[in-house]
């Protein structure tokens, strides 16, 4: 008998998949989704759902502001018109083989 099967016999609860309970605050309210994730990841700095919502709203605002900056910087260059020497240069008269 190998070590893993012996351990699973002695501790059957260890091999069962445990579902993570929803995050709850000090009042016992359960939160799920991004609010719970942010409260869990913050390390205790964010303790209630209102603060988590404000932080998530701030993050969304920053992302929108960054996207607008990239849009404004990227749209400053327009398409330039071809020069006259490029327009009037001779074109090759070769036909494509069919």
Query: Which tokens belong to 48?
Result: 């209630």
Residue in 60, 38, 61, 41 with CA at minimum distance from that of residue 49: 38
Asked whether residue 90 carries a pLDDT value surpassing 60, the answer given is yes
* pTM of the complete model: 0.53
Q: What is the DSSP letter of 91?
A: P
Q: Work out the average pLDDT over 33-59.
A: 90
CA distance 8 to 98: 71
- The answer to whether residues 42 and 59 touch, using CB atoms and an 8 Å cutoff, is no
DSSP per residue over 11-74, as a string? -HHHHSPPPPPPEE-TT--EE-HHHHHHHHHTTTS--SHHHHHHHHHHHHHHHHHHHHHHHHHH
Mean pLDDT taken over the chain: 81
Q: How far apart are CA 27 and CA 19, in angstroms?
A: 22
pLDDT score of 21 more than 70: no
């Amino acid at each position: 008998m190998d070590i893993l099967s012996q351990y699973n016999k002695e501790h059957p609860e260890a091999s069962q998949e445990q579902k993570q309970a929803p995050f709850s605050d000090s009042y016992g309210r359960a939160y799920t989704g991004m609010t719970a994730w942010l409260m869990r990841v913050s390390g205790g700095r964010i303790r209630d759902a209102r603060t988590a919502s404000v932080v998530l709203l701030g993050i969304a605002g920053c992302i929108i502001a960054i996207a607008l900056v990239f849009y404004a910087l990227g749209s400053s260059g327009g398409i330039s018109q071809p020069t006259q020497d490029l327009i009037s240069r001779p074109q090759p008269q070769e036909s494509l083989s069919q």
